Amino acid sequence: MSCALSSAVRLKRLSTILLLSVSTTLSGCGMDEVRRPMADVGSGSDTAIASRSLANEENQVAVETQTLPSSGMDQMSGPPPDVISVPDTSQAASEPIEPATPTLQPPEAAPEIPRLGETKPYSLPEMEPPSDDDKSYGYLKNYSYPNAIRDPIARGESVLGMSGGEMACRTELKKLGVVFQEKPPINDGGACRIDHPLAVSGFASGNIKLKPTATLNCQMTLALARWVKGDLSPSTRLRYLSGINTIHQASSYSCRTMSSQRGRPMSEHARGNALDIAKITLNNGREIEVERPGLFSFRQRGLLNTVRSDACDYFTTVLGPGYDRFHSTHFHFDLMQRRSGHRACR
C-alpha cells in the first residue's frame, strides 16, 4: 500500500514538472502574447463613437488633399505634403470631435522663365566701303558719282528699284569681269533716257581698259563684254600675237538722231544701246585704227573683216568703214530691235 502511494506521488510530481516545462517553452515562443483590439466594439454606443471618428478622419483627409498644389511642376518643386495624423480614439468618449476647419494655402508661384534677348533687326549700312583690290571687277575703287550705288547685287536690293532682269544682267557682268559703276537715272526728254545706266571702264577684270568711260545700259554692256571675250581678244592674239590693252570708244550715250542728221529717227545712242569703237591698242604698243586699210595691210584688213562678220553674232547692227561716210572711221554696234528680227551687218 505504501509502495502504491509513493508511486502515485512520483507520477504527480513528474506531470507537474512536465507541465511547467511545456508552459515555459510556449511562453518563450510568444504563444501566450495575443494582442487585443484597441476598442471594444461589443456595445452600440462605442460603435457610434467609432463611426463618427472615422467620418471625421475622412473629412480631414479630403480637406488637406484640396490644399495640395494643382500643377505638376508645383508638386515637384514645392515641399512634400504634411503627414496625416490620426486622432486618438481614447478621447472620443469624453468629448465630441468637431470637423477640422480647412486651411487653404495659396499655391507657390511657378519659377519665372528668363526671356531670351530680343534680336535687333539687321540694318544695312547706307554706304558700304569699297574694295581695296584695284582689280576688283564690278565696281571701281574710286567713285566719280556721288549718287552711285555701291553694290546692289551684294545688298540684295537696289535703291532705284531694279527689276529681276536688271539684277541678273549685273550678275553676268560680274562673272565676265566687267568694271562698271552704277549711275543715276538719265532722262533728257523724249527717247533720251536710261533708267539704270552704267559707267563702263574695263573688261577682263580691268586687264582691258575702255577709254573714255562709256555710259551704256546693262544689256548693251553685256553684249559688248561677250564680244570682247569671245571674238575680239582671240582674233588679235591670232593675228598680232598680243593681247588687248585699251579699246578706244568714240561715242556711247548721246541724245541725238541717227548720224546726227535732222529729221532722221532717234539713234540707239539716245538709249545707251549703242557704242562706236574707233581704235584698239595692243599690249605690244601697236595701234589698230578702224578705217579702210592700205593695200599691203593684210593683218589689219583680216582683223577688221573678221570683227565685222563675227560681231553680228552679238549685235543686231554692225556698221563700219565702207558703209557710208558717217562710219568711215569707226565700228558702230547696237542692239536695235526690229519687228522682222533682221540684223544689219554692213
As a whole number of angstroms, the distance between CA 320 and CA 275 comes to 12
Q: Are strands 198-203 and 208-216 parallel, antiparallel or unpaired?
A: antiparallel
As a whole number of angstroms, the distance between CA 177 and CA 170 comes to 11
3-state secondary structure of 251: strand
What is the percent of the chain where pLDDT is above 90? Answer: 38
Its pTM surpasses 0.85: no
CB neighbours of 25 closer than 8 A, spacing ≥ 6? none
User: Phi first, then psi: what are they for 241, rounded to 5°?
Assistant: 55, 40
Q: Is the pLDDT of residue 329 over 80?
A: yes
| Positions of E strands within the chain | 179-182, 186-187, 193-194, 198-203, 208-216, 244-251, 274-282, 287-289, 317-319, 331-334, 344-345
**What are 87-117's pLDDT values in tens digits?**
554 444 445 555 555 555 555 655 555 555 5
Instruction: Report, as an integer, the average pLDDT of 296-321.
Output: 90
Instruction: Report, as an integer, the average pLDDT of 115-136.
Output: 46
**What are 208-239's pLDDT values in tens digits?**
999 999 999 999 999 999 999 999 999 999 99
CB 100 within 8 A of CB 60: yes
As a whole number of angstroms, the distance between CA 339 and CA 346 comes to 19
**What are 237-246's pLDDT values in tens digits?**
999 999 999 9
- pLDDT attached to residue 259: 84
Q: Is the pLDDT of residue 342 over 60?
A: yes
Task: State in Å, rounded, how far the first CA of the chain is from the last one.
Answer: 175
Closest CA to 315 of 280, 255, 274, 278: 274
